[in-house]
Amino acid sequence: MRVSQADRDYMRRLGEFENDAHAQRLREHLAQDVSERLRRSMALYLQFRGSANLRDRVDDPSPFYERARRLGLYRP
């Protein structure tokens, strides 16, 4: 199937809009102070913790937290 130049231009503009929106969200995120970021992170955790499927998890953070404990950087 052949793709027209108009279709390519349309998809390019869509990509530009997506990039601009992502950059704006990043600027807004970085403008927040650490306490606000932590508050929002906790709110997301609380919102979705009941539906998390931890058995199918592919990234195990346990070694990270264990090392942080050994270094005295994390206390549960």
Q: Which residue has the tokens 């997506």?
A: 18
Please state the domain extents for the chain.
1-49
17-46 mean pLDDT: 96
| Cα–Cα distance measured from residue 64 to residue 62, given in angstroms and rounded to the nearest whole number | 5
Confidence of residue 55 (pLDDT cuts 50, 70, 90): confident
Which residues lie closer than 8 Å to 33 by C-beta, 6 or more apart?
A: none
Tens of pLDDT, residue by residue over 20-32, are: 999 999 999 999 9
